[in-house]
């Protein structure tokens, strides 16, 4: 028989250990493994929800990864999971009878008993813990120990999110400063988007980062960095209407295979399981779209990351706009300089032609007073003087038409 006092002490030690960690994924994994260990459950899993109740993360223990892939997509938190109260654990002694008539995935292991518990952070249900197949029956003491561990998890997750948000914001801010500084050194917009995409890839911890720009009614991938990037460069993505719907509010959106605001983006990128899509908005118009993508073995993007990404993206969009205006202003100033130089050249040319005509006329008249000069020479000089006069008239006509 298990010593309940010893078990409670073990739970307290595991709970304390959870609160000292800062990596959210490590915390969740340790929580599931600890919950399985103290209840002696063969299988354990936790589903994490977003603010709309959609599953964003699903971690498990007791099932090898290769077997889990054969089962298919993780559960979405429906069916038996919805029976778990928001404020108390649930014990089911015979899960097969309880779920009679429910279609289980073909490769899903056969389970006998079940303990489910909500994970609450303040007033919100952060997720649910699922335990199954304890050698003996789950007890109320198991449930109480899990609730104790869940309270420690709530503290650990809150601290980890604050720590991660602070770090993430600092990284995004650094990326923004790096990008805007590079714009001061170069007026090349293509190079600017390339730098933006590479920085977003790094700071967003993405497996693939894309920049889309609008070409008529289509959105074309002009920048790609990361996993199979070459497959996307220059491609026109069939997401015109989807993007229009998704970004009608001009906000940054996240989506993942478990649920979210829209899975339409991931339909185009089937090798990825989480996406963060952020628009570059200038004067209420979307001038470009950044898409960060992660594969199945990476954590999903969360709202905190989306919020800071949106803020940074809009600041960069304004910097791009200002850089473009600077280039236009410089071009206009250069055009003015060219016009001024052109006017001076025109005046100089006309003066030189007039002076040349006058000099030749004087020479011609001097030669005409000399009897030894052949008439053919005088005729040639007359032709040259007439040609200069005609050229000057044509140049003046062109100048007048340009004015």
| Half-sphere exposure of residue 382: CA atoms within 13 angstroms, side-chain side | 6
Q: Which phi-psi region, left, alpha or beta, contains residue 39 (left: φ > 0; alpha: ψ -120 to 50)? A: alpha
Average pLDDT over residues 255-277: 74
Q: How far apart are CA 114 and CA 89, in angstroms?
A: 10
Domain ranges, ordered by start, for the chain: 4-162, 165-327, 338-402
Q: What percent of the chain is predicted at pLDDT more than 90? A: 24
The reply to whether CATH 3.30.450.40 applies to domain 4-162 is: yes
Q: How confident is the model at residue 263 (pLDDT cuts 50, 70, 90)?
A: low
Per-residue confidence (pLDDT) for residue 1, from 0 to 100: 44
Nearest C-alpha neighbor of 302 from the set 174, 175, 187, 168: 168
Per-residue confidence (pLDDT) for residue 257, from 0 to 100: 66
Average pLDDT over residues 395-399: 73
Superfamily of domain 165-327, CATH level 4? GAF domain (3.30.450.40)
Q: Say whether pLDDT at 241 is over 70.
A: no
Q: How far apart are CA 162 and CA 159, in angstroms?
A: 5
Sign of CA dihedral 271, 63, 103, 117: negative
Q: How far apart are CA 397 and CA 374, in angstroms?
A: 36
Of 204 and 338, the one with more pLDDT: 204
DSSP string, 173-233: HHHHHHHHHHHHH---HHHHHHHHHHHHHHHTT-SEEEEEEEETTEEEEEEEEETTGGGTT
Give the C-alpha distances (Å, rounded to integers) separating 262 from 2, 247, 291. Answer: 48, 11, 14
Q: Against a cut of 0.85, is the pTM above it?
A: no
């Amino acid at each position: 028989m298990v010593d309940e006092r010893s078990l409670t002490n073990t739970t307290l030690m595991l709970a304390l250990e959870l609160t000292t960690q800062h990596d959210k994924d490590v915390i969740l994994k340790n929580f599931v493994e600890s919950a399985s260990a103290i209840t002696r459950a063969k299988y354990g899993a936790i589903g994490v929800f977003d603010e709309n109740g959609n599953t964003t993360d699903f971690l498990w223990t007791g099932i090898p990864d290769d077997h889990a892939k054969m089962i298919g997509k993780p559960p979405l938190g429906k069916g038996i999971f919805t029976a778990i109260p928001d404020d108390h654990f649930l014990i089911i002694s015979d899960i097969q009878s309880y779920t009679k008539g429910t279609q289980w995935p073909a490769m899903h292991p056969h389970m006998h008993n079940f303990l489910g518990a909500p994970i609450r952070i303040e007033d919100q249900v952060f997720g649910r813990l699922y335990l199954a197949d304890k050698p003996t029956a789950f007890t109320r003491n198991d449930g109480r120990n899990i609730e104790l561990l869940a309270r420690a998890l709530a503290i650990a997750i809150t601290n980890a999110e604050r720590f991660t948000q602070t770090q993430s914001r600092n990284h995004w801010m650094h990326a923004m400063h790096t990008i805007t500084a590079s714009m001061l050194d170069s007026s090349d917009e293509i190079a600017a988007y390339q730098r933006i995409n590479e920085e977003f890839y790094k700071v967003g911890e993405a497996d693939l980062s894309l920049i889309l720009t609008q070409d008529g009614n289509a959105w074309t991938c002009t920048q790609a960095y990361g996993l199979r990037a070459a497959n996307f460069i220059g491609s026109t993505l069939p997401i015109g209407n989807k993007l229009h719907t998704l970004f009608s509010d001009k906000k940054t959106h996240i989506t993942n295979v478990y649920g979210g605001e829209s899975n339409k983006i991931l339909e185009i990128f089937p090798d990825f399981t989480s996406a963060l899509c952020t628009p570059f908005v200038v004067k209420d118009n979307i001038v470009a779209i950044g898409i960060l993508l992660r594969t199945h073995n990476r954590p999903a993007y969360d709202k905190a990351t989306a919020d800071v990404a949106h803020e940074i993206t809009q600041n960069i969009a304004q910097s791009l706009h200002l850089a473009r205006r600077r280039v236009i202003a410089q071009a206009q100033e250069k055009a003015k300089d060219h016009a001024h130089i052109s006017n001076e050249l025109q005046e100089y040319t006309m003066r030189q032609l007039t002076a040349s005509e006058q000099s030749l006329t004087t020479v011609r008249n001097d030669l005409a007073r000399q009897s030894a000069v052949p008439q053919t020479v005088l005729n040639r000089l007359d032709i040259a003087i007439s040609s200069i006069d005609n050229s000057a008239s044509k140049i003046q006509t062109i100048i007048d038409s340009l004015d």
